[in-house]
Amino acid sequence: MEYSKVNGYTISKLSLGTVALGLDYGISNAEGRPSREKSFSILSTALSMGINTIDTARNYGDAELLVGSFLDQDKDHSATNLVTKFEIDSETLLNKNKAREHAYNSIRSSCSNLKIKQVPVCLFHKGKDQPVDLVLEVLPSILQDLKDDGLIDLAGVSVYYPDEVERFLDVPIVAGMQVPLNIFDQRLISNGMLQRLDLEKKFVFVRSVFLQGLFFMQPSALQGRLSDARPYLEALHDLAVRAGMSIAELAFSYVKDLKGVTSIVFGATTEQQVIENVNLLNSKSIPLNVKQAIEDLFKIMPEHIITPGVWKL
């Protein structure tokens, strides 16, 4: 396992995302979330393979409770890095006192669920329709207060849209971000923000490497507006063949080789999926001609394909 040093933390190159352990999640996940016993096995397998960072959130069903219960009984991994998130709706953000109270209640609940006294990495999960200006009026002081009161250590923001990253770059309390980035969604690269994040030594957790499983679907199986993704998926399959790689290897290698990526957040509903994702760290680099084709073909993509939050299935 590879690791990155960030603000005193050692972060594994892979972080286990737990949304699929707390909710039915993922466009290609037909089986639903695993049982508690299977979820514990998934967590145990991840930690035994060197993954030391777990990503969860208050709105991931009972994922926080599950992670807290697992770590409580697995004392060998009590030092695992935990990343969790909280939300504040736009109406509450209009009242700074209510927003602060809401944030404190949420973080205290997370600490209780996770059985910890302080959240190591706390991210504000910005809503996809929330105005950035409204968030910036309220959030920095709330994050600073939470840190000063010892409820959180590192603070950051999870964004839906890469063009929002620049607005948070100069906020001192924001130590890093969680962002979408994959073969189809290259906006963070083309707008220069990944390079800026790296230069400013911000941590970067990347999610949606497989676009929530869209990459693994058969083009002919897509319905509704997502049927617009068919030609892009077909092109992706062709590029994987040209590279002599599987779709997973191609998609994973594209992100893992990018400078500035602290950790890739992946989800799993079986132990085997954990093993497969760890093995992807050893995937070969993408041939230069294929990488150039990827950048040419997918540099500009329709919003309704690359942003799962607006999918209408």
Lowest mean pLDDT among 26-30, 102-106, 156-160, 195-199: 26-30
- CB atoms closer than 10 angstroms to residue 20: 26
Phi and psi at 258, nearest 5°, equal -80, 130
Task: Provide the 3-class DSSP secondary structure of residue 227.
Answer: helix
Q: What is the DSSP letter of 35?
A: P
Residue of 33, 108, 39 lying closest to 73 (CA atoms): 39
Q: What is the mean pLDDT of the chain?
A: 92
Which amino acid makes up residue 264? I
pLDDT over 70 at 312, yes or no: no
Q: What percent of the chain has pLDDT over 90?
A: 79
Alpha helices (H) in the chain, listed in sequence order = 19-22, 36-48, 63-73, 90-93, 96-114, 132-148, 165-169, 187-190, 193-199, 230-243, 247-256, 271-279, 288-298, 303-306
Q: Find where tokens 């005193």 sit.
A: 8
Q: What is the pLDDT of residue 128?
A: 84
Q: What is the pLDDT of residue 249?
A: 96
Query: Taking residues 190-205, what's their average pLDDT?
Result: 94
Task: Provide the 3-class DSSP secondary structure of residue 24.
Answer: coil
pLDDT band at 309 (very low <50, low <70, confident <90, very high): confident
Query: Taking residues 154-158, what's their average pLDDT?
Result: 97
pLDDT over 50 at 29, yes or no: no
Rg (CA), the chain: 19
pLDDT band at 308 (very low <50, low <70, confident <90, very high): confident
Q: What is the pLDDT of residue 224?
A: 84
Find out whether 143 and 155 touch, Cβ atoms under 8 Å: yes
Cα–Cα dist 290/29, whole Å: 29
| Residue 81 host element (H or E) | strand 81-86
What is the tens place of the pLDDT at every residue in 207-259?
999 998 899 999 988 888 889 999 999 999 999 999 999 999 999 999 998 99
Q: What is the pLDDT of residue 161?
A: 87
pLDDT over 80 at 1, yes or no: yes
Phi/psi-derived region of residue 105, left when phi > 0, alpha when psi is between -120 and 50, beta in every other case: alpha
Return the structure tokens found at 191. Answer: 């707008």
Q: What is the pLDDT of residue 87?
A: 96
Cα–Cα dist 180/159, whole Å: 8
pLDDT band at 25 (very low <50, low <70, confident <90, very high): low
Query: Taking residues 106-117, what's their average pLDDT?
Result: 96
Q: Exposure string (b/e) for 27-49, b if CB count within 10 Å is 16 or more?
A: beeeeebbeeeebbbbbbbbbeb
pLDDT over 80 at 32, yes or no: no
Q: Find where tokens 């991994």 sit.
A: 77
Return the structure tokens found at 23. Answer: 């909710």
Query: Taking residues 188-203, what's their average pLDDT?
Result: 94
Task: Provide the 3-class DSSP secondary structure of residue 88.
Answer: coil
Find out whether 154 and 119 touch, Cβ atoms under 8 Å: no
Residue of 216, 295, 223 lying closest to 254 (CA atoms): 295
Query: Taking residues 22-26, what's their average pLDDT?
Result: 70
pLDDT over 80 at 9, yes or no: yes
pLDDT over 80 at 28, yes or no: no
Lowest mean pLDDT among 44-48, 131-135, 303-307: 303-307
Q: What is the pLDDT of residue 167?
A: 94
What is the tens place of the pLDDT at every residue in 247-306?
999 999 999 989 999 999 999 999 999 999 999 998 899 999 999 999 999 989 998 899
pLDDT over 90 at 76, yes or no: no
Beta strand 119-125 with 263-267 is unpaired
Report yes or no on whether pTM surpasses 0.85: yes
